[in-house]
Amino acid sequence: MISLLYEILNTIRRNKMRTFLTGFAVAWGIFMLIVLLGSGNGLKNGFASNFGDRLMNVVQIWGGRTNIPYAGFQSGRRIALDEKDLQFTSAEFDKYVNLIAGNINFGTKTLSYGTEYLSSNLQGVSPNRIIIDGLKITQGNGRFINDLDIREKRKVIVISQRAKDILFNSETAIGKNVNFDGIIYTVVGVYYIEDRQDAVGSYIPLSTSQTIYNRGIKISNFAFTLNENIYDKATNDEFMNSYRKRIAQVHQVSPEDDNAIWYGNRFESYLQMANISKFINIAVWIIGIFTLLSGIVGVSNIMLITVRERTREFGIRKSIGASPFSILKLVIVESIFITTIFGYIGLVCGVGITEFASQFFEPSSAGRNSFNAFLNPTVDINVAVQATLLLIIAGTLAGFFPALKAVQIKTIEALNNK
């Protein structure tokens, strides 16, 4: 085997152009494939990142002002949501609705601790808000609002990591009292959001906020998650239609009035994104397969020519005692040797350039309104390795069949091949 490798290394060293051409076809094919798949992934990741960790199947409802006079009311009437909306939603639409959470927004006021302060938005929420908003609380950073807080109307608050850093610096925040617009709350948890490190909103129990701010059963907005019965555009549209009709009836507004009640349906945009992702995926794979094919054709061509060129050499080798198998082995091992080394080079270059490029597409930290068009344009290393293996196998087969043919040529004819 070592003897064979010496023989092959010698051949490669003396036939640099041929080796380079074969190797270049392989390396280039793999390189292009990885760059292409990486770009596709970058586009896809960019879209996906705009949704972050928030749940995809969330519907949000806000009260607005009527635009159309209806049922004896004039237009311009303010629609206020309240807990009855939560009740009818969970009772009548339980076939589609999973979690449901009311929410009161108190706007942005001053949150302070000692001499440190910042502006923070405050919301009264129910415990399942943590899921709907995709909040994370790590070990040692306390907890979110829980059912006991709601029942006992505790004056507790969950603040963001950024607010904690500003107010407490490196001290622990849990158990400390903070002041929000003149009212004292005890910090029970510090949350963060993966793609919005700068979030400063604070959360208190919904029941507490209703009592302190004297809101009765009124809420600013509410959100609910859809279950697996909503799975495509058709089921989503159908659900939204019947839900809009029902909530319009409850609040006595025209079903045609788009301004009376506002909806945000993330599932709709999620479906759009999923469609775009699917399209990018298909496009990338089609182009990728053709890139790989052209690489295979390139390698095959060179192998074919190489073997033809070497027919006489094979004849000479056979005349001095080379068995057909030994010549086949020579061609195959050389082909594997070249394609593996250059495939690896292409792989490293491709992965290198995608990793390099991904440095330039850091996730935007500008908050909710930022948009990432391109993010993390890298390739799953398994896909890259599989593609390289495929090309190595293709290159080997491409060398194998012409070599088999060349070996079967009678020695004397191979010798006379000019």
Partner 1 sequence: MPTIIKLENINKTYYNGSPLHVLKGIDLEIHEGEFVSIMGASGSGKSTLLNILGILDNYDTGEYYLNNVLIKNLSETRAAYFRNKLIGFVFQSFNLISFKNALENVALPLYYQKTGRKTRNKIALEYLDRLGLKEWAYHMPNELSGGQKQRVAIARALISKPQIILADEPTGALDSKTSVEVLDLLKKVNETGMTMIIVTHESGIANQTNKIIRLKDGIIESIDDNSEHNFSSFGFQNIK
Stretch that binds partner 1, among 160-168, 255-263, 310-318, 385-393 (CB under 8 A): 310-318
Q: Which of 72, 107, 175, 321 binds partner 1 (CB under 8 A)?
A: 321
Stretch that binds partner 1, among 244-252, 317-325, 355-363, 367-375 (CB under 8 A): 317-325
Shorter beta-carbon distance to partner 1: residue 297 or 415: 415
Tell me the sheet residues that pair with 158.
189, 203
Residue 364 touching partner 1 (CB under 8 A): no
The CB density around residue 278, as the number of other CB atoms within 10 Å, is 11
Instruction: For tokens 């992934």, name the residue.
Output: 41
Q: Which of 212, 313, 336, 357 binds partner 1 (CB under 8 A)?
A: 313
Residue 293 touching partner 1 (CB under 8 A): no
Gyration radius of the chain's alpha carbons: 33
Distance CA 107, CA 116 (A): 20
Residue 9 touching partner 1 (CB under 8 A): no
Torsion of CA 136, 137, 139, 141, to 10 degrees: 150
Shorter beta-carbon distance to partner 1: residue 10 or 186: 10
Distance CA 22, CA 32 (A): 16
Shorter beta-carbon distance to partner 1: residue 111 or 403: 403
Q: Which of 211, 281, 411, 417 binds partner 1 (CB under 8 A)?
A: 411
Residue 83 touching partner 1 (CB under 8 A): no
Shortest distance (Å) from residue 324 CB to partner 1:
5
Shortest distance (Å) from residue 293 CB to partner 1:
32
Shorter beta-carbon distance to partner 1: residue 5 or 283: 5
**194 in Cβ contact with 52 (< 8 Å):** yes
Residue 14 touching partner 1 (CB under 8 A): yes
Distances (CA, A) of 271 to 228, 234, 278, 359: 14, 11, 10, 29
Can you list the alpha helix ranges (DSSP code H) found in 186-228? 206-212
Distance CA 105, CA 60 (A): 13
Stretch that binds partner 1, among 135-143, 294-302, 307-315, 367-375 (CB under 8 A): 307-315
Distance CA 397, CA 297 (A): 11
Q: Which of 11, 197, 227, 235 binds partner 1 (CB under 8 A)?
A: 11
Residue 95 touching partner 1 (CB under 8 A): no
Shorter beta-carbon distance to partner 1: residue 254 or 411: 411
Shortest distance (Å) from residue 312 CB to partner 1:
8
Stretch that binds partner 1, among 171-179, 233-241, 278-286, 407-415 (CB under 8 A): 407-415
Distance CA 150, CA 93 (A): 24
- Helices vs. strands in the chain: H and E counts, helices first: 13, 11
What the block records as the tokens of 227 is 């279950």
Residue 251 touching partner 1 (CB under 8 A): no
Site for partner 1 (CB under 8 A): how many residues?
26
Shorter beta-carbon distance to partner 1: residue 4 or 286: 4
**105 in Cβ contact with 121 (< 8 Å):** yes
Chain centre distance of CA 17 = 43
Question: Footprint of partner 1 on residues 324-353 (CB under 8 A)?
Answer: 324-326
Distances (CA, A) of 96 to 57, 91, 239, 250, 405: 11, 11, 8, 19, 66
Q: Which of 316, 366, 373, 381 binds partner 1 (CB under 8 A)?
A: 316
Shortest distance (Å) from residue 414 CB to partner 1:
9
Letter for the amino acid at 356?
F
- 114 backbone φψ class: left, alpha, beta (φ>0; ψ -120 to 50): left
Task: Summarize as ranges the residues that interact with partner 1 (CB under 8 A).
Answer: 3, 6-7, 10-11, 14-15, 312-313, 315-326, 407, 410-412, 415
